[in-house]
Amino acid sequence: MKLSQTLGKSLWAFLFNSGSCNGCEIETVATVTPRYDLERFGIKVVGSPRHADILLISGPVTRKMAPRLRRVYEQMPDPKIVLCIGACGTSGGAFYDSYTLVGPVDQVVPVDMYVPGCPPRPEAIIDGVVKILARLEAAEKSA
Amino acid sequence: MSVNEILLAAGGALIMAFFSMVGGLWFAGIDRVLAARMQARIGPPVRQPFLDIAKLMIKQNVVPANAIPWLFNGAPVVALASAVTILLYIPMAGIPGLPILQGHGDLVLIMYLLILPALAMVAGGLAAGSPYATIGAQREMVTMIAYELPLAATIIAFAWKFASLGIEHPFSLATVAAQPVWTLVGPVGFMGLLLLLVTMLLVVPGELGRIPFDAPEAETEIAGGLLVEYSGRNLALFTLSLAVKTIVVTSLIVGLFFPWNLTDILAVACCATTAAMINLAFFILKLLVVMFFSVTLVRISVARFRINQVVDVYWKILGVLALLGMFLVMADALF
């Protein structure tokens, strides 16, 4: 994966719900509201995975959603980053032993960063994105 | 044209292409900052569109399996090239040597050329082989048909005014630039021109596919519409063509309605270079003001229209307004 500083300064995000209860969606959408103003960092939400650099996944990945999640991940052009939002995607959360689950998320697609919480606050989501940006910059320096 | 002239025009076109892309992206950055400030946000840095383009250039350029590759890859190039071409016909602040193709085209040609970038997007969307892109392409065509009526009515009103006064080349933009149309009409015609100005300002968001007329790209319902399958370099080219088109349509409005130069008003009698620089700065300021009122303010104030509402607004409201403006300009000549 070729990394670049410009990638970190213009992250376009695509939101994917893999069977979440919508709690994480509400918090994720709250993150892009004027109060938190993610556009300051060049981050914006796009409508197509083809335009996206970072995939924000919420939910524990149900049996029906697993092939769709894999497909959306493959539709994103390289280089791409995956951020897993919420306890469900991290570990299965409250639904860890459900017969409908294929996931957690990292059983289906590779994950770069986890944001725990049920649901995580917008500050936590921003912190996750910032940590990814810091990692991108470190990778750029060492390369 | 001699070989020299052709070479000069080609070189000029390259320089224009460079400056219009840089200027268009700069305008896009200012638009985003202004929009953020109106929403009580800090907003991105002004250079954000440049960073976006730089990022898109390093991204993978995906051509979907269902796409027709030559059309899919060709459409963004055609869109950018045609957008730059229109700019070669539009006069800019009376700077000598501009427009590069002076005397070769008129308002009717510009009207037809304005269709080209949108048509390239439609072709690219249909070639992408995605149902979302097909819906987007159909909506884009409907939008094009919709805004054509008010646009044509405005241009006819201008040409009629100049033709009725016996001025030569009534369709030429140079004619409009030489004689600001506001000075040729009485109070009734002035009201008519105001209506035409409002119409043209609201044609701009449709022309650029911005809110409230962005049904062809509607991200929340058809996932980006026309551009749904585009990524990497191709998406960057479309973004650039949109940026250039912003410059094109704002300079068209400035050329039609506000052709005054600062040096004429202040009667600056100085060397030609300084005058040209002052005029250029004033021209860019006029473009920014037009962009603020027709793009930024509109897109912050309202939500997206459905595609049938787009047609209603352009035909039933703005079409009638433009025709009314045209009749007022014509009626003005009777008194």
- The boundaries of the domain holding residue B96 are 3-332
Residue A97 in contact with partner chain B when CB distance is under 8 A: no
DSSP-derived 3-state class of residue A115? strand
Arithmetic mean of pLDDT, A57-65: 89
Place of tokens 């980006």: B224
Q: Which residue, among B51, B59, B66, would best test binding to A if mutated, counting the most A CBs under 10 Å from its CB?
A: B59
pLDDT at B103: 66
- What is the DSSP-derived secondary structure letter of residue A106? G
Spatial distance between the Cα atoms of B277 and B262, rounded to a whole number of angstroms: 10
pLDDT at A141: 74
Contact flag B36-A53 (C-beta cutoff 8 Å): no
pLDDT at B209: 82
Q: What is this model's ipTM?
A: 0.83
Contact flag B36-A37 (C-beta cutoff 8 Å): yes
pLDDT for B167-218, tens place per residue?
777 777 777 777 777 777 778 888 888 898 999 898 888 888 888 888 777 7
Confidence of residue B30 (pLDDT cuts 50, 70, 90): very high
Contact flag A51-B32 (C-beta cutoff 8 Å): no
Residue B48 in contact with partner chain A when CB distance is under 8 A: yes
Exposure class string for B225-251: b at 16+ Cβ within 10 A, else e:
bbbbbbbbbbbbbbbbbbbbbbbbbbb
- The boundaries of the domain holding residue A39 are 5-142
Q: Please say whether the dihedral angle defined by the alpha carbons of residues A124, A53, B33 and B300, taken in this order, is positive or negative.
A: negative
Domain count, chain B: 1
- What's the Cα-to-Cα distance from B152 to each of B159, B164, B185, rounded to whole Å? 10, 18, 20
Residues of B in contact with A37 (CB under 8 A): 36, 41-43
Residues of B in contact with A53 (CB under 8 A): 55, 59
Query: Among residues of chain B, what percentage have pLDDT more than 90?
Result: 8
The answer to whether the CB of A118 falls within 8 A of the CB of A124 is no
Confidence of residue B94 (pLDDT cuts 50, 70, 90): low
Residue among B152, B156, B238 nearest B203 (CA) = B152
Arithmetic mean of pLDDT, B250-261: 84
Q: Which residue has the higher pLDDT, B223 or B317?
A: B317
Residues of B in contact with A48 (CB under 8 A): 132, 219, 223-224, 227-229
> In the predicted model, is pLDDT for residue A4 greater than 60?
no
Confidence of residue B26 (pLDDT cuts 50, 70, 90): very high
**What is the pLDDT of chain B when averaged over all its residues?**
84
Residue B51 in contact with partner chain A when CB distance is under 8 A: yes
Chains A & B: contacts with CB separation below 8 Å = 80
Q: How far is B39 from chain A (nearest CA, A)?
A: 7
pLDDT at A73: 92
pLDDT for A32-42, tens place per residue?
888 888 888 88
Nearest residue of A to residue B132 by CA position?
A48
Question: Who among A4, A37, A47 is closest to B220 (CB)?
Answer: A47
Question: Who among A2, A39, A50 is closest to B36 (CB)?
Answer: A39
Q: Which residue, among B56, B231, B233, B239, would best test binding to A if mutated, counting the most A CBs under 10 Å from its CB?
A: B231
pLDDT for A113-137, tens place per residue?
899 988 899 999 888 888 888 887 7
Confidence of residue A1 (pLDDT cuts 50, 70, 90): very low
pLDDT at B6: 80
Q: In the Cβ-directed half-sphere of B271, how many Cα atoms lie within 13 Å?
A: 2
Spatial distance between the Cα atoms of B310 and B111, rounded to a whole number of angstroms: 20
pLDDT at B97: 63
Report DSSP letters for B126-179, one per residue.
HHTT-HHHHHHHHHHHHHHHHHHHHHHHHHHHHHHHHHHTT-S-TT-HHHHHHS
Arithmetic mean of pLDDT, A32-57: 87
pLDDT for B284-303, tens place per residue?
888 899 999 988 898 888 88
Spatial distance between the Cα atoms of B29 and B124, rounded to a whole number of angstroms: 26
Confidence of residue B98 (pLDDT cuts 50, 70, 90): low
> In the predicted model, is pLDDT for residue B269 greater than 70?
no
Spatial distance between the Cα atoms of B217 and B136, rounded to a whole number of angstroms: 6
Paired tokens of A128: 């996750």
CA angle B89, B94, B100 (to 5 degrees): 30
The model's pTM is 0.86
Q: What is the CATH number of the domain that holds A52?
A: 3.40.50.12280
> In the predicted model, is pLDDT for residue B333 greater than 70?
yes
Strand residue runs (E) in A59-99: 81-85
The answer to whether the CB of A78 falls within 8 A of the CB of A2 is yes
pLDDT at B77: 92
Query: Among residues of chain B, what percentage have pLDDT more than 70?
Result: 94
Domain count, chain A: 1
Spatial distance between the Cα atoms of A50 and A73, rounded to a whole number of angstroms: 10
Question: Who among B40, B224, B227 is closest to A34 (CB)?
Answer: B40
> In the predicted model, is pLDDT for residue B156 greater than 80?
yes
Contact flag B43-A37 (C-beta cutoff 8 Å): yes
